[in-house]
Structure 1
Amino acid sequence: MFTLPQTIRFQHCDPAGIVFYPRYFEMLNLTVEHFFEDRLEASFNHLHQQLRLGVPTVRIDTEFRAASRLEDVVDFDLRLIRLGRSSATLSVEGRCEEETRLNAEIVLVAIDMDTRKARRWPDGLRAKLQEQLEA
């Protein structure tokens, strides 16, 4: 499992003082980006510029379970749960202390940045993804 703690800031909140739900999608994406950089040793810059590989989200199912407020620290726990030829499915739970704030299932697809078509995971990256799946 990969965990990224994120502090709720003023920029994330609506006038009621709770996280405006679209901001959670930014936090989820940040978690994915850090997962690729920290666990797979593949920053988005490296993927895009050197490998010409994009990993857009093609599906995201989210359940918002409880409100988060200014200065809460939400731990985003990410697990790789499925690995396909050109796709990866991630499960993410956002928790503050012991309370679940949201659950999400995210499907990413590896695409060629030039053709915008799905492509196989490069062998080295696929091996690192496989390690995460088995961990």
Structure 2
Amino acid sequence: MSTAVFTTPQEAEDAFYEAFSRADLEAMMAVWSEDEEVICIHPGAPRVVGLAAVRDSWRQLFAGGTRLQITVSNEVISAGTLMAIHCVLEHIQVEGDNELHAPIVATNVFMRGALGWRMVAHHASPTPEIDVMGDSGGPLIVH
């Protein structure tokens, strides 16, 4: 059982990205709710459901040894007293790589429980190539 207590959804999200950058599995799982209904979707990967499966997906990702520097921008937040949804752009820099990568669109969902705020869903998708989408001048809809 996690001993971390996140008093706001932002604290939980900050801890999530810090654990992600450090490839720290225990810190990552401290952010997640211990409910079995948690969901994680990594870019280009299938949906993972359940705490054990989510843990295993992060373990596999971190086992690759690649360290990432992640900054978040363009936050759109919808929050209530028990649930918060953060839609962000993740800018990922691979350690030792100077290449500029397209941002990842991510949605992070947090719920407040007896032990504070915890993540219940993370869905990350690559942004579409703008040249592939065409430049129609109209609104760009990703999903």
Smaller-chain TM-score bracket:
0.3 to 0.5
Highest relative contact order (Cα 8 Å, sep 6+), 1 or 2? Answer: 1
TM-score, normalised to structure 1, is 0.33
TM-score, normalised to structure 2, is 0.31
